[in-house]
Amino acid sequence: MTKNGNLIANNCDMSGVKPAMLELPYPPIQVKCRNREYAELLKVDYCGTVSELSAITQYINNQNRMSCEKCPLAKMILGIAVAEMMHLQKLGELIDLLGGEVDYAVMQPNGKQKLWTPAYLTLSGNIRKMLCAGIESEKAAIAQYRKHISIIRDDCVDAVLLRIIKDEEYHILLLQALMEDL
pLDDT tens by residue, 27-82: 999 999 999 999 999 999 999 999 999 999 999 999 999 887 889 999 999 999 99
Show Cβ contacts of residue 99 under 8 Å, excluding neighbours closer than 6 positions: 34, 35, 36, 39
Is the CB of residue 62 less than 8 Å from the CB of residue 130? yes
Helix (H, G, I), strand (E, B) or coil at 141: helix
Helix pair 127-151, 52-66: axis angle to 10 deg = 170
Give the per-residue pLDDT at 43: 98
CB distance 26 to 165 below 8 Å = no
In order, the DSSP letters of 16-29 are T------S-PPPP-
125: CB partners within 8 A, 6+ apart: 65
pLDDT tens digits, one per residue of 91-115: 999 999 999 999 999 999 898 999 9
pLDDT for position 68: 78
Instruction: Say how far apart CA 5 and CA 182 lie, in whole Å.
Output: 34
pLDDT of residue 115: 97
C-alpha span between 170 and 135 (Å, rounded): 11
Q: According to the model, what pLDDT value does residue 141 have?
A: 98
Give pLDDT, residue 3: 61
**In terms of pTM, does the model score above 0.85?**
yes
pLDDT in tens, 106-160: 999 898 999 999 999 999 889 999 999 999 999 999 999 999 999 999 999 999 9
Q: Are 124 and 133 in contact (CB under 8 A)?
A: yes
DSSP state of 6: P
Using CA atoms, how far apart are residues 66 and 131, in angstroms rounded to an integer? 11
Determine the pLDDT at residue 76: 96
